[in-house]
Amino acid sequence: MDDTTPPVADAASSGLPSTEQILDSLKVVKDPEIPVNVVDLGLIYGVDIDPNGAVDITMTLTSVGCPVQDLIRADAEMAVGRLDGVTDVNVEFVWTPPWGPDKMTEDGKRQMRMFGFNV
């Protein structure tokens, strides 16, 4: 880095939430049919934080025809939109790569087993 290159600000000094804070906020979002949050289910594929506070979330669902897609989108937008520094939230659903139980965290798998699901 030369003397004319400005230092890159981290999320805390810029007033923006970190990716970790965004993922933590998304842990309140659940598919009503599955008792595990979208993060531990492995549904979050990416988080992009714009310097102006816009957050883009790339995620999937357990099935393409999920009847609660709009509810999950609204819950995710609301959860992330509450964070300081966030000016806009955009949730994009993608279907590639397809979701599978292998994408779940160990916490998610443990929670599923507690509810009688075989994972």
Distance of CA 72 to the CA centre of its chain: 11
- Which tokens go with 33? 């049919």
Going by pLDDT thresholds of 50, 70 and 90, the confidence category of residue 119 is confident
Q: Give the separation between CA 115 and CA 54, rounded to whole angstroms.
A: 36
Which pLDDT tens digit goes with each residue over 30-61? 988 888 999 999 999 999 999 999 999 999 99
Q: Which domains, from first to last, does the chain contain?
A: 15-99 (3.30.300.130)
Which pLDDT tens digit goes with each residue over 75-108? 999 999 999 999 999 999 999 999 999 999 999 9
Helix axis angle for 69-81 and 19-26, nearest 10°, is: 130
- Model-level pTM? 0.86
Whether residue 35 has a cis bond before it, omega within 30° of 0: no
